[in-house]
Structure formats: C-alpha cells, structure tokens
Amino acid sequence: MGKQLDTHTFTRQDRARYREKVRSCLDVFALMLNDFAFDSDKPLTGLEVEISLVDDDANPAMCNADVLARVDDPMLQAELGRFNLEMNVPPRLLAGDGFDDYRRDISGRLARAERSASGIGAHLCLVGTLPTLREEHTGTETLSGGERYHQLNQQIIQARGEDLSIDIRGMERLSTMTDSIVLEAACTSLQFHLQVSPDAFADTWNAAQAIAGVQCALGANSPYLFGRELWAETRIALFEQATDTRPAELKAQGVRPRVWFGERWITSIFDLFEENVRYFPPLLPILDDEDPKQVLAEGGVPKLGELRLHNGTVYRWNRPVYDIMNDRPHLRVENRVLPAGPTVADMVANAAFFYGVVRQLCEQDRPIWTQMTFSSAEENFHTAARDGIESRLLWPALGEVPATELVLEHLLPLAYQGLDEFGVDAAVRDRLLGIIEGRCRTGLNGAQWQVETVAKLEDDRQLDRHQALAAMLQRYCEHMRDGNPVHTWPIG
C-alpha cells in the first residue's frame, strides 16, 4: 500500500483486466511455492510504528507534511491522517543484542523527529487511539496530501455505496456516521514482521493467530475515542468498522469484511492469497507492465505487483507478505494486532514476547491450533480488545482463565525458550520479558493507566472529560519520553 497513485478514475475495463492479472499472479505464485528458492537462510525481523502528532495542549496537530520537511529520515513517512506519521525500522536479526539495537534505533529516530516537530509546536505521541481526537478533527480535509489516501477513501466509500456507520459499545457507547475513512487515522499501530520459509509459514501464521488475543490483552492502549471510554483496545473495533465496504444487507449475507481475523487455520500461505483473490473485489485496480509468467519462464523473480497491491487492501490482523529484497523473494508474517506505545521499552518487550512465543509454539509436538477451534481464537481476540488486561481467555486444557495467569504460568516460559532459540542474550531476554511479567503482576498496561488516571483527574480535580483527557495525555507524553515501562507509571 506504499504505492503512489496517479490514476484518478477506474473503468469497468480496468477492473476486468486487473482481476485477470491478479489471477495470473496467483497462478505464478503457486508455481513459485513449488519450485522457487525463497530467502530464508537467516530470517530477518522488522518493525513499523505509527505515530500521532499533538500540539502543546495535547490536541491533534495537523502538520505531518511540515514535520517531514524538517526531518532528514527516509524511514519516516506520512500516514493516513495529517496528524499521523509512520516509522519503518530497518530489519535485523534478533540474536545477541538485536532487541537492544531496535530500542536504540527507534529511540534515536523518535528523539530526532521530536526535536524537529517541537520547532513548529508539535510533539510525537505513541498511543493506540488519540484520546483528545474529536469528531471535528475527522473531515476529509484531515487526509494526508497526495493521491494515495484520497483514492483509497473514494474507492471504499464507493464500494459501500453509503456512509460508514460506527457503533462501539463498551463502558460507554459511541454511535456516529461518517462519509470518509478518516476515522481509521485514529488507529495507530505497532507492527511486527517475521521472515519465514514457505514450509514454515502456515505454522507461524497459525501460532500468531492463536496468541492474538493474548497480545491484545497485554498491550491494549486505546480506551478512548471522541471523549468516550469504549474498549480497552478500541482501535480493533474502530478499524473493523471504519474500512467496512459492506452495507447492512451484505453483512447479513455473510460477505467477509476487509478487516478480517480470518475463518480457519491454514496449511499454506497460498490459502490466504487465494482467499483474498476469491472473496474480495479490487479496490485499486492499477495495472503493472510486468508479465509474471514470462518473467518466471526466463528465470527472473516476478514482482507480482497486482497481487501484492490487492493483498494490501485486505486488512488481516496477521497479514501474509510476499516481497523481494536484493533480487531474492521472501515471505513474511506481518503481525498488526498491537497499538503503538506506551514507550519504546514496552514496544520492544511486546516484540520479544511475540517472537519468542510464536517460535516455541511452532516447535511443539502437538501444536496449539490442533487443540483450539479457530472461532475460539477469534473470540479471545475480541474479548481481549474489549476487556484488556482484565480479560479471561479460552485456552486448551485450561478452559477460561485470566489473561495474566495464562501469560505468567504458561506463555512466559515459552517466550523464554523461544528467545533462547533465536540466540538472544540472556540479559536482554530477562529485561524485556520482565516488563511483560511486571504488567501482569501489577495489572497495569497503557489502557488501564489511561482509564485510572482520567478517573482520578475527574474525581480529584473535578475536570470534565475533555479537560481530563488532555491533562492525562500531557502526563502520558512526559512518561513516554522518560522511557520507563508503563507498569511503573504513577496514577494521576
């Protein structure tokens, strides 16, 4: 989806040709999975971090273009809303002090960007949904410049044929209508990439799906939207609804949503790409000049541009990725479950837990996905998004168990073993997984800290909700810059 667009209208002929080309790409991809050498000798990992911009009063700062003009960092780019940035962290191995290398890299880039932003009265904030965002901040004028996001907005609204309905019921309720996808800009995420071989992809994806609910419970950081306390990770419900191309009638018919958990365990990465082509009409039918069959026949590496672009418009929480680096193709699982923040230390700890647990689950004699129904994994995911660190999740042989108990007694030991398999230094491993343990023992993650702090500000200082949210976010950003993990933050 990083592709820049210069086409303003799409014809029926464009869509027909694109559909044919996507299917041709899928056929070539199937041949490559059988016969091609994918790069997987030294599997790399990668991170992406989405960032909100706020002003001195903690309100959204609509100035990402100005910040980027001042920052000399090719790893930073604009995201959907003018108050969003995205940081693409260069990939690396985890062995040794790879996680500390991530921490230093991310911290350094954030610090440089913060210095540039502060020169124009803006500040960086790592949070899942921006608590001070209001409905007046989400008109189409909030979309970032350039054609890419405007085309995507136009195509989603056109596919739906009517305004988008947002209805989220949590501690409080939000019910509103919108004529654009700008509300998606309220969702800022932390994304993990894990390069795998074709043979290992299915197990890795299944393992990532199985623990998505656990990740969400531990890392929830999005309790507020438009001044209302909703889900612990409101970002999940919001993203599912803000990009939904289905009117009510198609939902009733069981048409799949474009933001999709999935519906089954898989046996190959091909299952996911084939589902994307079979179930989802193209949003951006942009044709590439490449003939993938000819490129493959001549011994080259096909780009499969149409298939990759289409894949970027199906928003799975664990997305399959085909990519090319140094003229060699590779496959990745892109984990999109978690919100940004609260601190770099928290985000790197979340990464350590994810990579460690997934690796160890893939090596078990009786994999977890052979013991758990797929619907249970999906139910866990939405339960955790709603209830956060206080959620109770279903787990084989345990039944319904508190998420914190599941992590402390069953999954943290797997994470330790998995990081050992990656060759992570013991001191780095212990420090990062100690952050996860601290969260479980205190019951304090980003969402819980926000809710408890707002309640204290409302009670002790008699602030109204918007005043309390702004005061909370200012304190949040101070703690974020200090860098201590969220479970150590004082309330209020």
447-489 pLDDT per residue, tens: 999 999 999 999 999 999 999 999 999 999 999 999 999 999 9
Question: In the numeric block, which tokens belong to residue 474?
Answer: 């200012």
Contacting residues for 399 by C-beta, under 8 A, at least 6 apart: none
DSSP state of 217: H
- Phi and psi (nearest 5°) for 129? -120, 135
d(CA 186, CA 188): 6
Q: Which residue has the tokens 């305004």?
A: 163
The pLDDT, as a whole number, for residue 2 is 44
With vertex at residue 89, the alpha carbon angle to CA 88 and CA 90, rounded to the nearest 5 degrees, is 115
Return left, alpha or beta for 121; rule: phi > 0 is left, psi -120 to 50 is alpha, else beta.
Answer: left
DSSP state of 129: B
Name residue 457's amino acid. L
d(CA 260, CA 267): 18
Cβ neighbourhood burial of 222 (10 Å; 0-12, 13-18, 19+): buried
d(CA 96, CA 117): 34
Question: In the numeric block, which tokens belong to residue 128?
Answer: 């899942």
d(CA 53, CA 63): 8
d(CA 351, CA 240): 23
CA distances from residue 412 to 342, 434, 435, 436 in whole angstroms, order as listed: 21, 9, 11, 8
DSSP state of 3: -
Q: CA torsion sign, 378 to 94 to 77 to 54?
A: positive
Report the 10 Å Cβ neighbour count for 397.
Answer: 7
The pLDDT, as a whole number, for residue 4 is 46
pLDDT of 137-172, one tens digit each? 888 888 888 777 778 778 888 877 888 889 999 999
Task: Report residues of the chain scoring pLDDT below 70.
Answer: 1-8
Give the start-end residues of each E strand in 281-411: 315-316, 318-325, 328-339, 392-395, 399-402
With vertex at residue 10, the alpha carbon angle to CA 6 and CA 15, rounded to the nearest 5 degrees, is 120
Question: In the numeric block, which tokens belong to residue 19?
Answer: 């559909």
- With beta carbons less than 8 A apart as the criterion, state whether 212 and 354 touch: no
Q: Are strands 45-55 and 122-125 parallel, antiparallel or unpaired?
A: antiparallel
Contacting residues for 482 by C-beta, under 8 A, at least 6 apart: none
d(CA 212, CA 382): 9
3-state secondary structure of 279: helix
Return left, alpha or beta for 388; rule: phi > 0 is left, psi -120 to 50 is alpha, else beta.
Answer: left
End-to-end CA distance of the chain: 40
pLDDT of 45-78, one tens digit each? 999 999 999 999 999 999 999 999 999 899 999 9
d(CA 457, CA 438): 25
